[in-house]
C-alpha cells in the first residue's frame, strides 16, 4: 500500500485550540493544538507546569509527522510472503475473534499475547488490560515499558514499598545538587535539563551538577563534575559514595534510625567498597568520588535523576536500589528539593504502570501475584473468582521465547515497533516469523514490524483521539482530539473494546467514549498510592493537569510522596538493600574487545516512525554512527567518517565511525533509532543481547561486547 495523504476533517472550530500533550518523551510537555486548513498547528502551553510553553525540537516539529506514511485501512494476508490486501474492519476483527476463540479452545489463554506501548493513552492501556488480564484470563500483556522503566518500578517497590517517583518538577528549582546518573538528560529530556540550567543560572554559586556516564554527553559537558565511569560500574560508584558517607559522618542518623530498615546489612555490603578500590573499578579519580559524595550528602537538597543508563541492565534493580540507598542514608528524600527521581522514557509509561500495562501488574498499582489484588479486580470487573491468572505473564523477551517454542499462538502488537527495538534483533525477527497469527496495530505503514504481520489495523494517533497521559512527576494531563483520524483509523481502546464485544463481553466493553473508560479506570485507584479517583476528563479539561495522589475534588494533587516519612511497606519504613557490583552479562574479551553502549539522539524518537518523517530532524541526525575514542581508532587504523563494521556474537552493523574523546577508551556508542526501512546494517539492536535483570526482566541494552573492523 502506498502512503496516502488523508483528507483531514477538523473537530476543533477555526480559531480555537485545545489542550494537548506532546506524545514523545516522559517530560509530558503541554501543547495547545488547533487546525489551520489542512494542517494541525501547535504551540507550547504556557500554563502547563511541565514546560511553561517551552518545547524541544521534537515537540516543535510534531505536526510534520502526521500525514506521511499513514496506515488508512485494515489490511490482511494469508501468510507472511503474500502481499497485503485491503480488508474491512469487520473482516479483520472477525478473523481476530475467531482465531482467539480457536486458540482458547485448543491451547488455553496462555497462548494469547499482547505487546503494547508507552505511547498508549491510559484509556487504551486500561481496555487492553481489562480484555487480556480480566476477560481472556492471561497476563501475557506486556509493553515496551519493559525495555524502559521496569527496573525503576521494581527498585521503587522494593526500597520504598511502592512504585511512583516521590519527587516533582517543582524540585528542579529547589535542589542544589543534581546527580544525573545513566541519563543524558540534555538530549533525552531536554525541557527538564533546560529547567535545571535555568535554576543554576539563577544560583550559580549554590547549584551543582554531577553526571555519571561512560560518555561525556551534552549533559556531562554542562555539568560541574563528570564521573566518566566504566560501563556497568554504577553499583560500585553508589556503594563507594555510601561508604564515604559512613566514614565521614555524612549519614542522617535520625532518618536512618526512625524511618529505615536494613542499615546493618547495608554496612556489611559496603565493607568491600573502600573509596580507592571503587575509584579503580570505576576508572575515576578518588578525589572525584569524594567531591561528588560531599556535594550530594551535604547539600541542603540533592535530587538524583536517572533513566535508561541504570534501568537497561542485568543489574538494573540493583542500580536503582543502590541509588535509593544513598538517598535514605543521607536523608535526601521526603522533602522539597530532594529525592530519587526516575525520568520516564515514554510519554505514558507512568500511565501504563497505573493500569497494569506490564505482565506482572494489575490496575491501581496492583500485582497479579497478590490474591487480594486479583480478587479486587475480579469483583470490580464482575468476573467469576479465579478468572485472573495467578502467575506473571510473559515479559517482552519472554514473548520472543514463547514464539520460538510455539507456546504463543496469537500475537497482537500495538503502537510499538519491536522489529527495531528488541534486543538480539535477528533472533527476534526469526521468532516473529514463526507466529501463527500476528496483528500489528499502528498509525504508520510501512513499518519494520509490519513485515511480520498477518493483519494490519490502522490506529488513530496524537491529535486524533482524546485521552490521558501521566508524565514523570505523576501529573495526569488530558490530550484532546484536534481532528478526525485519517481513513478508517480508530482509537486503540475502541479496537480492543470492539474485539471484547465480539467475544461476547458486550456488557463490559460497551464504552462509547474514552471519558467513560477513564471514569471506570480511576475507580480502581481509590485508596491506592496512585489515587486519582477524583479525576475525570471534565475536571482535567476545566482545572488543567493534576498530580496523583489527588484525593480531593476541591484541591490539587500532592506534589511529593512520603513527606510524612511513612513508607507503604509493612513496617512503614523504607528498606535498605545492599548489592554487590556485578559486571555486565557480556564482558569484552580478545575476540570482542570493546563495550558497546546504545542510546538516543536529541532530535530522534525511538524507531523513527515519526521523527524519520521530519526533514529538519533527519538533517539534524542523518544516520547512525559509532562513537570511537581516537586512541582506539588509531589502534584499529580507522578514520573519522570511515564506514566500519561493528560485530558482536549476534550480528553486525556497517556505519561511519565518529571519532571523539567524549567517550572512554574501550567503549563505543551507537544510537539505536534506525531499522531496516533505512537500509541494511544500521540497527544497533542486531548487536545487543537479550540477557535480562532477573527481577525487573528488563534487557541489558546498554552493554555488550563488540569488535570494530576496518572494511577492506
Binding site for ligand SF4 (CB under 6 A): 22, 24-25, 27-29, 51, 55-56, 58-59, 189-191
First and final CA of the chain: distance in angstroms?
Answer: 39
Cell numbers standing for residue 15: 480559531
**Least Cβ distance, residue 479 to ligand SF4 (angstroms):** 11
**Least Cβ distance, residue 471 to ligand SF4 (angstroms):** 8
Q: Between 64 and 378, whose beta carbon lies closer to ligand SF4?
A: 64
DSSP 90-135: HHHHHHHHHHHHHHHHHH-GGGEEEEE-TTS-HHHHHHHHIIIIII
How far is residue 621's CA from residue 10's CA, in Å, rounded to a whole number?
33
The helix/strand/coil state of 31 is strand
The helix/strand/coil state of 405 is helix
Q: Between 22 and 100, whose beta carbon lies closer to ligand SF4?
A: 22
**Least Cβ distance, residue 343 to ligand SF4 (angstroms):** 10
**Least Cβ distance, residue 585 to ligand SF4 (angstroms):** 31
**Least Cβ distance, residue 190 to ligand SF4 (angstroms):** 5
**Least Cβ distance, residue 605 to ligand SF4 (angstroms):** 7
What one-character DSSP code corresponds to residue 558?
A: -
List of residues 6+ apart from 137 with CB closer than 8 A:
109, 387, 388, 389
Q: Between 20 and 288, whose beta carbon lies closer to ligand SF4?
A: 20
Q: Between 38 and 47, whose beta carbon lies closer to ligand SF4?
A: 47
Q: Between 34 and 250, whose beta carbon lies closer to ligand SF4?
A: 34
Q: Between 154 and 348, whose beta carbon lies closer to ligand SF4?
A: 348
Positive or negative, the Cα torsion across 213, 427, 657, 190?
negative
How far is residue 613's CA from residue 368's CA, in Å, rounded to a whole number?
40
**Least Cβ distance, residue 48 to ligand SF4 (angstroms):** 10
Q: Between 49 and 109, whose beta carbon lies closer to ligand SF4?
A: 49
Q: Determine the residue with CB nearest ligand SF4.
A: 59
Q: Between 28 and 699, whose beta carbon lies closer to ligand SF4?
A: 28
Q: Between 145 and 314, whose beta carbon lies closer to ligand SF4?
A: 145
Q: Between 471 and 481, whose beta carbon lies closer to ligand SF4?
A: 471
**Least Cβ distance, residue 55 to ligand SF4 (angstroms):** 4
**Least Cβ distance, residue 56 to ligand SF4 (angstroms):** 3
How far is residue 144's CA from residue 672's CA, in Å, rounded to a whole number?
15
Q: Between 43 and 484, whose beta carbon lies closer to ligand SF4?
A: 43
- Taking each continuous run of H as one helix and of E as one strand, the counts in the chain are 25, 28
The bridge status of strand 177-181 relative to strand 208-212 is: parallel
**Least Cβ distance, residue 385 to ligand SF4 (angstroms):** 42
Q: Give me the helix-helix angle, 286-298 and 234-248, nearest 10°.
A: 70
How far is residue 477's CA from residue 471's CA, in Å, rounded to a whole number?
8
Cis ω on the peptide bond leading into residue 176 (within 30° of 0)?
A: no
Q: Between 33 and 76, whose beta carbon lies closer to ligand SF4?
A: 33
The helix/strand/coil state of 292 is helix
Q: Is 145 exposed, middle or buried (CB count within 10 Å of its CB: 0-12, 13-18, 19+)?
A: buried
The length of the chain in residues reads 712
List of residues 6+ apart from 98 with CB closer than 8 A:
none
How far is residue 496's CA from residue 144's CA, in Å, rounded to a whole number?
18
**Least Cβ distance, residue 24 to ligand SF4 (angstroms):** 3
Q: Between 25 and 684, whose beta carbon lies closer to ligand SF4?
A: 25
CB 529 within 8 A of CB 162: yes
**Least Cβ distance, residue 26 to ligand SF4 (angstroms):** 7
**Least Cβ distance, residue 49 to ligand SF4 (angstroms):** 13
Q: Between 614 and 655, whose beta carbon lies closer to ligand SF4?
A: 614
**Least Cβ distance, residue 470 to ligand SF4 (angstroms):** 13
**Least Cβ distance, residue 347 to ligand SF4 (angstroms):** 7
Cell numbers standing for residue 117: 506501548
Cell numbers standing for residue 153: 518500578
How far is residue 88's CA from residue 611's CA, in Å, rounded to a whole number?
30
Write b or e for each residue in 297-324: b if 16 or more Cβ atoms lie within 10 A of its Cβ, otherwise e.
bebebbbbbbbbbbbbbbbbbbbbbbbb
Residue 7: HSE in the Cβ half-sphere, 13 Å Cα cutoff: 1
**Least Cβ distance, residue 381 to ligand SF4 (angstroms):** 33
Q: Between 59 and 63, whose beta carbon lies closer to ligand SF4?
A: 59
How far is residue 198's CA from residue 178's CA, in Å, rounded to a whole number?
13
Look up cell 542514608; give the residue. 329
List of residues 6+ apart from 594 with CB closer than 8 A:
588, 632, 666, 667, 668, 705, 706, 707, 708
Positive or negative, the Cα torsion across 405, 409, 415, 420?
positive
Look up cell 529530556; give the residue. 189
What one-character DSSP code corresponds to residue 318?
A: H
Q: Between 195 and 454, whose beta carbon lies closer to ligand SF4?
A: 195
Cell numbers standing for residue 85: 490486501
**Least Cβ distance, residue 193 to ligand SF4 (angstroms):** 9
Of 671, 575, 114, 684, give the one whose Cα is nearest residue 317. 575
Q: Between 50 and 207, whose beta carbon lies closer to ligand SF4?
A: 50
Q: Between 59 and 699, whose beta carbon lies closer to ligand SF4?
A: 59
Dihedral angle at the C-alpha atoms of 484, 144, 600, 181, nearest 10 degrees? 130
**Least Cβ distance, residue 350 to ligand SF4 (angstroms):** 13
Cα distances (angstroms) measured from residue 154 to each of 143, 315, 481, 532, 696: 15, 12, 34, 22, 6
Q: Is 386 exposed, middle or buried (CB count within 10 Å of its CB: 0-12, 13-18, 19+)?
A: exposed
Cell numbers standing for residue 310: 541504570
How far is residue 202's CA from residue 185's CA, in Å, rounded to a whole number?
19
Amino acid at each position: 500500500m502506498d502512503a496516502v495523504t488523508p483528507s483531514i476533517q477538523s473537530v476543533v472550530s477555526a480559531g480555537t485550540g485545545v489542550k494537548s500533550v506532546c506524545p514523545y518523551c516522559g517530560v509530558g510537555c503541554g501543547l495547545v493544538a488547533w487546525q489551520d486548513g489542512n494542517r494541525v498547528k501547535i504551540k507550547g502551553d504556557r500554563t502547563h507546569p511541565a514546560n511553561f510553553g517551552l518545547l524541544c525540537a521534537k515537540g516543535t516539529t510534531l505536526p510534520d509527522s502526521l500525514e506521511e506514511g499513514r496506515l488508512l485501512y485494515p489490511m490482511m494476508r494469508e501468510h507472511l510472503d503474500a502481499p497485503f490486501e485491503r480488508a474491512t474492519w469487520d473482516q479483520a476483527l472477525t478473523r481476530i475473534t475467531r482465531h482467539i476463540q480457536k486458540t482458547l479452545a485448543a491451547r488455553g489463554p496462555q497462548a494469547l499475547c499482547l505487546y503494547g506501548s508507552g505511547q498508549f493513552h491510559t484509556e487504551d492501556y486500561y481496555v487492553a488490560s481489562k480484555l487480556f488480564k480480566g476477560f481472556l484470563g492471561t497476563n501475557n500483556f506486556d509493553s515496551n515499558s519493559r525495555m524502559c522503566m521496569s527496573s525503576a518500578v521494581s527498585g521503587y517497590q522494593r526500597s520504598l514499598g511502592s512504585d511512583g517517583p516521590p519527587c516533582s518538577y517543582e524540585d528542579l528549582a529547589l535542589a542544589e545538587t543534581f546527580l544525573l546518573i545513566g541519563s543524558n538528560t540534555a538530549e533525552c529530556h531536554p525541557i527538564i535539563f533546560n529547567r535545571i540550567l535555568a535554576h543554576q543560572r539563577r544560583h550559580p554559586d549554590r547549584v551543582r551538577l554531577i553526571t555519571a556516564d561512560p560518555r561525556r554527553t551534552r549533559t556531562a559537558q554542562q555539568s560541574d563534575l563528570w564521573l566518566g565511569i566504566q560501563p556497568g560500574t554504577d553499583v560500585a560508584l553508589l556503594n563507594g559514595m555510601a561508604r564515604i558517607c559512613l566514614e565521614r559522618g555524612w549519614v542522617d542518623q535520625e532518618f536512618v534510625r526512625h524511618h529505615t530498615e536494613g542499615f546493618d546489612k547495608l554496612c556489611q555490603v559496603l565493607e568491600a567498597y573502600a573509596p580507592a578500590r571503587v575509584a579503580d573499578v570505576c576508572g575515576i579519580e578518588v578525589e572525584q568520588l569524594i567531591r561528588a559524595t560531599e556535594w550530594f550528602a551535604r547539600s541542603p537538597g540533592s535530587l538524583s535523576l536517572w533513566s535508561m543508563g541504570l534501568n537497561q541492565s542485568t543489574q538494573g534493580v540493583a542500580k536503582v536500589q543502590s541509588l535509593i540507598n544513598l538517598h535514605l542514608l543521607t536523608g535526601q528524600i521526603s522533602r522539597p528539593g530532594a529525592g530519587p527521581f526516575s525520568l520516564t522514557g515514554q510519554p505514558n509509561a507512568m500511565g501504563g504502570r497505573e493500569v497494569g500495562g506490564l505482565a506482572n501488574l494489575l490496575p491501581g498499582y496492583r500485582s497479579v501475584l497478590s490474591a487480594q489484588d486479583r480478587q479486587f479486580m475480579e469483583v470490580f470487573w464482575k468476573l467469576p473468582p479465579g478468572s485472573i491468572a495467578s502467575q506473571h505473564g510473559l515479559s517482552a523477551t519472554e514473548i520472543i521465547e514463547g514464539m520460538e517454542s510455539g507456546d504463543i499462538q496469537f500475537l497482537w502488537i500495538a503502537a510499538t515497533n519491536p522489529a527495531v527495538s528488541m534486543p538480539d534483533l535477528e533472533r527476534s525477527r526469526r521468532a516473529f516469523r514463526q507466529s501463527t497469527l500476528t496483528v500489528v496495530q499502528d498509525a504508520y505503514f510501512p513499518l519494520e514490524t509490519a513485515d511480520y504481520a498477518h493483519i494490519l489495523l490502522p490506529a488513530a494517533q496524537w491529535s486524533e483521539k482524546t485521552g490521558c497521559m501521566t508524565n514523570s512527576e505523576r501529573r495526569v494531563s488530558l490530550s484532546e482530539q484536534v481532528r478526525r483520524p485519517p481513513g478508517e483509523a480508530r482509537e486503540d481502546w475502541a479496537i480492543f473494546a470492539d474485539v471484547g464485544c465480539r467475544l461476547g463481553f458486550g456488557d463490559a466493553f460497551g464504552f462509547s467514549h474514552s471519558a467513560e473508560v477513564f471514569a471506570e479506570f480511576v475507580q480502581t485507584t481509590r485508596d491506592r498510592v496512585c489515587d486519582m479517583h477524583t479525576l475525570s476528563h471534565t475536571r482535567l479539561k476545566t482545572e488543567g493537569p493534576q498530580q496523583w495522589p489527588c484525593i480531593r475534588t476541591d484541591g490539587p494533587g500532592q506534589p511529593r510522596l512520603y513527606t510524612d516519612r511513612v513508607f507503604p511497606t509493612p513496617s512503614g519504613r523504607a528498606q535498605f538493600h545492599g548489592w554487590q557490583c556485578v559486571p555486565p552479562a557480556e564482558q569484552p574479551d580478545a575476540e570482542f574487545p570493546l563495550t558497546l553502549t546504545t542510546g538516543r539522539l536529541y532530535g530522534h524518537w525511538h524507531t523513527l516512525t515519526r521523527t524519520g518523517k521530519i526533514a529538519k530532524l533527519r538533517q539534524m541526525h542523518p544516520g547512525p554512527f559509532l562513537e570511537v575514542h581516537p586512541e582506539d581508532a588509531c589502534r584499529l587504523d580507522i578514520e573519522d567518517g570511515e564506514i566500519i563494521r561493528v560485530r558482536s556474537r549476534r550480528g553486525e552493523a556497517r556505519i561511519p565511525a565518529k571519532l571523539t574523546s567524549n567517550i572512554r577508551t574501550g567503549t563505543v556508542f551507537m544510537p539505536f533509532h534506525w531499522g531496516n526501512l533505512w537500509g541494511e546494517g544500521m540497527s544497533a539492536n542486531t548487536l545487543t543481547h537479550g540477557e535480562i535483570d532477573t527481577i525487573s526482566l528488563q534487557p541489558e541494552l546498554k552493554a555488550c561486547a563488540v569488535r570494530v573492523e576496518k572494511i577492506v
